[in-house]
Structures are given as C-alpha cells and as structure tokens.
Amino acid sequence: MNKRRIDEIGIRYVESLKLYEEYAARIRNLIQDLVEVEGVEFYAIEGWAEPPAELLHILSTLEEKDLAGVDLVTIRVLLRFPADVLRIEELVKSEFDIDSSRSLPSDSGTLKDPKRFGYPAVVYILSLSRSRSTLKEWAKYKDLNFRLEIRTMLQEVWATILPKVTQTVGKNSEEEFTRELFLLGAMLEKADKGFLTLRNEIKEEALLVPPSPSAKKVEQVNAETLFTDEELYTLFRDNNSLLVHWNNAAVNAGFPEFTPDADYLRESFKNLCSIFRASGIDTISEVKIFLDDMDSEDKGFRQLKTLHDTFRDNSKWRVDPFSALFLLVLNFKWDRLKDKDLTALGIKRGSDRISGID
C-alpha cells in the first residue's frame, strides 16, 4: 500500500482513537461480566485498541484489498484449561454477531487438521448483536467489530515466545527449525490436555469423599458477611501503602496533583463504599481480589491513563486515592451498574464531584 494511503488511514484512526479505546474497555468489561456469570474460571481478560504506530506498520505490509482483515480492537481471554474454551464459545455465539468468514472456532477444519503447524488458538471476529446495539449506551459502537482471542495459558506462552524465536532463523536451518517447532507445539497441546485430565481426576476423587458434618459446620461459620464501612476503612488503614500507590497512579496517569482535606477524603471513602456495594463487590475478600486485579500488569494504571487521555479538559479533576479506585470500579463494573439508579445511589454525584462538576 502506498504511503499516502497509509497516512490517510492513520490520520482517520488517530482522530477516532478515543472511541476505539473506549470500545475496547467496554467490551472487555462486558465479556468479563458474562464469563463471571457463567462461572468460567479464567486467568486474565485483556482488551486494547491497536496502537497507531503498530497499525501503520501493519498497513505497510498489506495490499489495499487486505484492509478488511485489519482488526482495530482486540480482546483476549486467557484460560487455564482447554475445556473451558468451548464454554466461552457458546457464550460468544449467544451474545454477539459472528463474522464466520474470518473466525477460527475450535471445530474448524484448520484447528482439527492433525498436520497443522503450530499451536493456534480460537479466534472470533465479532460485533454487537442487534438487540445490544439498539441500547442507548451501546448505539455508538454498532458499526464496530472486534477480534476475540480465546487461549489457554500455554497457548499464550507459545504465541508470545514464537515471534521472538523465529525472527533469528536463517535459511539454512529453516527446515529443521520448523520440525522442532511442530514437535514443541504438539507437546504443549498434550500438556494442556494432560492438566485437564488431572483436574477432572481430582474432581472425581473429591466426589467420592463426602464432607464430614464438622467440615460443613466450619464452612458455615467462616461464610463471609457483607463489609461494613468500618471494616473497609480498617483494610485501608492497615495497608496505607494502598492509598499511596493509587494516589501515585492517578498522578502518573496525568491527573492534576490534589491534596484533599479530611472532609473531602471522608466523602470520597463513602462514595467508594457505595460503588463497591452497587457493583457487587461487597465483601472484604472481593475488595482484595478487585485490588489485586487492578494491580496486575498495571491494569488499573493503564485504565486511569486511558480515562485521562479520553477527557481532554481534566484540569478541574480532583482525584484522591479513593476517587481513583471509584473510577476503576465505575469503568470495570459498568455493565452491572448501568441499569441501576446511579443518581439515587449517589454514584453520579460522586463521579461529578471527581470531575469538578458542582
């Protein structure tokens, strides 16, 4: 493709980048909520819009006719066991429209071919279903599609390492190298199935050993209750580094430095309690899981950076550490919050307060 055409596409993409980044975040949250409701165990769910520089590089290698194959938003679901791939596929088929011509489901001939090369993952090219795209909060994304990659953790290892290895292969050793990769891919696939077999065997053995009455009693006693404001406050008080961490994350993401007084901080904490409960994060364990998830691979920081970059006029924003977490809950749990009365719950007021709206 000629440079002028590449530049034209690149400029249009940069102009719409915020929309694609927002779409990636919304779709990622939606898929996570759907997966959690189904009870599928996952390692991570990631989502991103293609960086402009990477898009330009991709375009430079393509012909004009291949533009339809460029995916601007990607969501990746990383699973522990291959059997869970089928459960995600069933979920996808019921919730989204599928571009079958560009998708690679698990029952495709390519993945079932015993002579295939490598250890490829399941891929779907999806768009919003008609019923979802007619909803007001999704309408602006109705013409956008996204690429969904469903991988086990071992497939992710393969996909990550393979490009770094293949780029150093010379012509003379290419045939032998290809054979070795074929063997390694087969070994990883066998390992994936082996772990699944072990998990199923352990489950079957567990079913043969009924829990004792005393075990049931302990389980009931240890059942976790909904947190109180005081319990949540104790969590942050005993882990003061959490507040320092998220305050620094907000500043590093670009939000203005802000030192709240005690009253402002107290109000921010109350708003955080409210949005945790409204989003279904209502035990201390669930709060800890959410905080760990936000800290994993700088997920929370990257989202704060996206929020900062999305809202250009953010000089009036007042983001203290509790407010930073409030924004992350609002974003990552939006699909659980959107149908609730956010005004009555005080969440809209809390959001306006952070953005400096009186």
pLDDT mean values, one per 10 residues, the chain (358 residues)? 86 92 92 88 88 89 81 90 87 93 78 49 92 91 94 71 54 57 60 58 50 44 69 88 90 89 90 92 90 89 87 81 94 87 87 84
| pLDDT at residue 174, rounded to an integer | 59
| pLDDT at residue 80, rounded to an integer | 79
| pLDDT at residue 193, rounded to an integer | 61
| pLDDT at residue 128, rounded to an integer | 95
CB 345 within 8 A of CB 274: yes
CB 306 within 8 A of CB 25: yes
| pLDDT at residue 220, rounded to an integer | 40
Please choose, from the candidates 69, 43, 42, the residue with its C-alpha nearest in 3D space to the C-alpha of residue 55. 69
Please choose, from the candidates 38, 23, 257, 235, the residue with its C-alpha nearest in 3D space to the C-alpha of residue 142. 23
| pLDDT at residue 180, rounded to an integer | 61
Q: Is the dihedral of CA 132, 39, 275, 351 positive or negative?
A: negative
Please choose, from the candidates 357, 273, 276, the residue with its C-alpha nearest in 3D space to the C-alpha of residue 317. 357
Strands 145-152 and 73-79: parallel
**In angstroms, what CA-CA distances link 108 with 83, 121, 183, 193?**
16, 11, 22, 18
Describe the crossing of helices 299-310 and 240-252 by its angle, rounded to 10 degrees.
40
| pLDDT at residue 216, rounded to an integer | 43
| CA–CA gap between residue 195 and residue 200 (Å, rounded) | 9
| pLDDT at residue 110, rounded to an integer | 47
- Give all strands of the β-sheet with 42-49 in edge-to-edge order: 42-49, 73-79, 145-152, 122-128, 96-98
pTM of this prediction exceeds 0.85: no
Contacts (Cβ under 8 Å, ≥6 apart) of 13: 20, 50, 52, 55, 72
Token duo for residue 169:
């292969």
Beta-bridge mates of residue 79: 42, 152
CB 110 within 8 A of CB 120: yes
Residue at 110: amino acid letter: T
| pLDDT at residue 117, rounded to an integer | 43
The alpha carbon of 51 is separated from its chain's Cα centroid by a whole number of angstroms, namely 17
Give pLDDT tens digits for 246-256.
999 999 999 88
| pLDDT at residue 177, rounded to an integer | 53
| pLDDT at residue 88, rounded to an integer | 92
Please choose, from the candidates 254, 137, 113, the residue with its C-alpha nearest in 3D space to the C-alpha of residue 185. 113
Backbone angles phi, psi at 167, to 5 degrees: -70, -10
| pLDDT at residue 207, rounded to an integer | 46
